[in-house]
Structure 1
């Protein structure tokens, strides 16, 4: 059975949810092999094996640490040449998509980004589903040249454990000087909020222009659900919420199980970032708001009245 390479998304061995999702998808295509670049592989090995990694390629040296995406692309290209995998799966975040694009060029292979489903094709190969044109259409795509390089959106698949050996294999990659042109000189940990990461959260509650800058009801409702907090471009441009929480075409793309949009009109740019959510709920005073064309459930009302009631009810049901 052919190997399927999965790029491990981690910080010093602390795995992000997207890695387990990619390993789950990889099992549909072949034998998953995780690629852990950087320090902390020993911390990650048990979890990688739990979710199906038969092998863990470890690259931990000075040439791959402290640089931006170019070294990762070169390392993956050398692994592709070595093992001839059935596919390479990469998280579809900002860094992942750039790594995937560079890898595609280096291996002269087809690239698919923002896939929301990956499966074996009827006639062989790999078949994907993408949501395109701001979520207006779903398309099926296949790679017709080289090794399929696929960047997959977080929250696209339910994680399933499938224990495997997780055997560690050190891989000695050679990183060119050109790949080390951009170095990370300083990093600062993100301030802890106690909420899940926006792109990985199963539930997201977002606020927009209708909040008038008061995100207290948004945060309270999100906390009652154990959700992440998002914001529309109008809200972040006004300085009401950090840009790192922006959901939309020019912000982060999310695909949670539940997305709640409060005080958001539903412009196409915002819809592009959340339209693949499994269930969408909107709260808006304007019954003609475009967001209502998209939702599974809509509430016409003032978020400052609706959300506190919803928050109280959720807390009562949880007994907190």
Structure 2
């Protein structure tokens, strides 16, 4: 854990230093000192780049990586499905519908409409999809069965994808490129207000799931075993599903859709620290944070003058790991 914390701090520092405008650590510290009114004579442009552009960007990337990874770990434990991820419940499709409505209709035609409107619409869409999934998956007794929840999430995701495609096809063609960029994910537009929202949300979610760490251990043996150990299975599922779902909705609304983080990071963390959630959850959060910070660094530096979407980079890294997960679990079976 100490090594992962140190690696995260180093990654954050490198993320602030590296960019289209090269900076040194001394310039970064000076810019931060100037912002705190401790240092004078710092170039205003350098101060703006460090404090207002790069710092919120790397902090947002680390928080989003941690939040998606932990959400994936919790969902994999609750559903007993090693391939579960934060977008399992159809929220990505719901968020896409909300964002696309703003980007391709008169709501997004005015220049005054910015990412705040897109984020709000995406959040509303994600919550709408989540409510629909829960309505479909909930039994008459009020239970949330994992298999039924997964199927409901797949159905809602496919429906949302169809609606998104129809809106783009019949809507403003010039907005198609904007829609594509949003659906591939980015933290380029991160600023301190949105960064604080993301950081507070992820911190609160980590605190809640940490309290349920031992309960999540019990789910590894199945619902009956968990119930025999005194775990309120139905209530626990509702609480944790809602917590990680709301977290995912906030993250998707702010950064777009960034795939594979919640799917592969929990498996990497289990290989390092084991399955017990007291160690697994913080390790997953730290590894996810480090991964997404470095993903963002690669996205904005690998091609001179161009920035790759985060979802593209995570897919390039995540697909081979996904294949490894399938093969390793297939061999175990």
TM-score range for the pair, normalised by the shorter chain length: under 0.3
- TM, length-normalised to structure 1: 0.22
- TM, length-normalised to structure 2: 0.22
Q: Does 1 or 2 have the higher relative contact order (CA < 8 Å, sep 6+)?
A: 2
More helix by share: 2
